[in-house]
Chain A
Amino acid sequence: MRPGFLLGEVGNGLRRNFSMFVSVVLVTMVSLFFLGVGLLAQAQVNTAKGEWYDRVQVSIFLCTPDSTDAPGCAGGAVTPEQRDQVESDLQGLEPLVTEYFYESNEEAYERFTEQFRNSSALDSVPQESIPASFRVNLSDPSRYEVIRAAFEQAPGVDSVEDQREVVDRLFAFLGALSWGALALAVAMVVCAVLLISTTIRLTAWTRRRETAIQRMVGASAFSIHLPFILETVAAALLGAALAVALLWATVRFGISGFLSELLAGESGLVSLVGERDLWLITPFLVGGAILLAVVTAWMALLRHVRV
């Protein structure tokens, strides 16, 4: 069969079964989209875990005039002496404390207003109620308890917080997202397989006269099957392209845009999945789509198109 004639046959087939073609495209798109989300979330968990754990800090928040609950805040807002005491205690905890810096009340307020610049409800928060804090890096983040025990009750200290909790919550969320997306992807792939089989059966039926003639005049099984397979691959490729575009939009505007800004504000952590990760999984998504199309179409052809 010549390429021109073959393309003509494929084009005819697509036109005749256009609605089936569209549904195969959409089902492929949705299944690959979920697969992509699952893979990206997984990649995020795996690559970011080490990096983030190294960078997370313990925050020691100092008393504000408002804090009354903590035992260390019995005397109201932190005094400069109390603050200096906390700092010298921190120095005494080296080498567990590798690094620390002080964020003053003014700096904290600035960061706070920057972070929530779009929410008017928080405009009225007074500067004094934003606590100053020590940001502490540990040589071994899992020994957070040592810091907590040392400072929780200290005078002038409101609370001690481990950022790892925030990060762990994020990882738990990403993990659930990843498995949920992969489960949906599996369900959608099953849909895709069934839909492709049905499409092939229908296409084989609408084209039974052509197929019978091809058989009769001695076309090989391969050349009889080829247009069916190419049509399915075309649909799957288009679906894969749309899925990648959708993933790109999600990464670009969803994660890189919205989520990482939120996280950067919250914890100073960035490096969420980016476009680079997407380009890394793209060949697998496209390859998977082609493989799925070829294998499913071929199995369906063996059942429904006699040669």
Chain B
Amino acid sequence: MITMERVSLRYAKGDPWALEDVDLDVTRGEFCFVVGESGSGKSSLLRLVILEQRPTSGRVLVAGHDLGELAPRRVHLLRRQIGTVFQDFRLLSGKTVAQNVAYVLQVLGASRHEIKQRVPETLALVGLDGKGKRLPHELSGGEQQRVAIARAMVNKPPILLADEPTGNLDPDTSQDIVAILDRINRAGTTVVMATHDTTIVDRFRKRVVQLHDGVVVRDQAEGGYREVVAP
């Protein structure tokens, strides 16, 4: 689903490499943690997938598209295949929960009927049924992040990227959020989540890709945060 071949990235000439010679293959339906200390390149890696950034060298393939050959005016079609969630939620503060989620469908030109059906469905998926009329500031952080997940998933993208989605949340709430991502993953969506939350990674036992100074230093199935080699 997401393939990187010898991908290197540097933001400006003379800068150190943000990513160096990264080879990565995330298959359809996989759940993958990307871990590493601050500045190791986790966000940069995700940015390459949504073409927020083009690599300095190497090849990125997403959902069958070679991103190097994707014309700029077709980039938005790629982004429709990918839901994105961030640490800071990025909700529209003037819109209700339901309006925030519906906004995506409206922007993409869905019919009123479709919106009426998909929005409550998706809110139920993240455990927010009945809270559609609330405004974002009337919700807890965990609930706001659920809205963001609902918004990312409402047009059913095959890929979900989450960049430190639990960075602003307490441990229990974080677990709930990752449990939701896990549930979404089990329903067939490929999930890539960047994090430095050790407890979460240790607990969920998914594939772990560890970055250090832009280099992949570990790629382990069912790994923990600091495990080097399984016994």
Contacts and interface: CB of A to CB of B under 8 A. Distances in A.
B43 to A, nearest CB: 14
Given A209-B90, A209-B92, A212-B90, A217 B104 contact: yes
**Among A209, A218, A221, residue most surrounded by chain B Cβ atoms (within 10 Å):** A218
Contacts of A51: none
A68 interface: no
Interface residues of B, number: 24
Interface stretch (B5-13, B28-36, B72-80, B138-146): B72-80
B92 A218 contact: no
A219 to B, nearest CB: 5
Given A2-B106, A2-B109, A223-B107, A213 B76 contact: no
Interface string A1-42: 110010000000000000000000000000000000000000
B155 interface: yes
A219 B76 CA distance: 6
**Among B73, B106, B151, residue most surrounded by chain A Cβ atoms (within 10 Å):** B106
A214 interface: yes
Interface in B97-115: 103-104, 106-109, 111-112
B92 A213 contact: yes
Contact of B79 (A1, A210, A218): A218
A214 B90 contact: no
Contacts of A216: 50, 79, 84, 90
B80 to A, nearest CB: 3
A307 B76 CA distance: 9
B80 A218 contact: yes
Interface string A64-77: 00000000000000
State which size class the interface on A falls in: 10 to 19
Interface string B40-81: 000000000010000000000000000000000100111111
A215 to B, nearest CB: 7
A213 B104 CA distance: 8
Contact of B106 (A1, A209, A220): A1
Contacts, number: 55
Contacts of A210: 92, 103
Contact of B80 (A1, A5, A209, A217): A217
Label chain A's interface by main secondary structure: helix
A1 B90 contact: no
**Among B50, B79, B92, residue most surrounded by chain A Cβ atoms (within 10 Å):** B79
B73 A221 contact: yes
A223 B108 CA distance: 9
Contacts of B109: 1-2, 223
B149 to A, nearest CB: 13
**Among A2, A213, A307, residue most surrounded by chain B Cβ atoms (within 10 Å):** A213
Nearest to A306: B52
B92 A214 contact: no
A223 B77 CA distance: 13
Contacts of B73: 220-221
A113 to B, nearest CB: 71
**Among A217, A219, A220, A221, residue most surrounded by chain B Cβ atoms (within 10 Å):** A217
Contacts of B77: 218
Contacts of A2: 106, 109, 111-112
B107 A1 contact: yes
Contacts of A307: 76
A53 to B, nearest CB: 59
B90 A219 contact: no
A214 B107 contact: yes
Interface string B142-164: 00000000011001000000000
Interface in A127-182: none
Interface of A: 1-2, 5, 209-210, 212-221, 223, 307
19 contacts: A1-B106, A1-B107, A2-B106, A5-B106, A209-B92, A213-B92, A213-B107, A213-B151, A216-B90, A217-B80, A217-B83, A217-B108, A217-B155, A218-B76, A219-B76, A221-B73, A221-B76, A223-B107, A307-B76
Given A209-B92, A213-B92, A213-B107, 4 more contacts: A210-B103, A216-B50, A217-B108, A218-B80
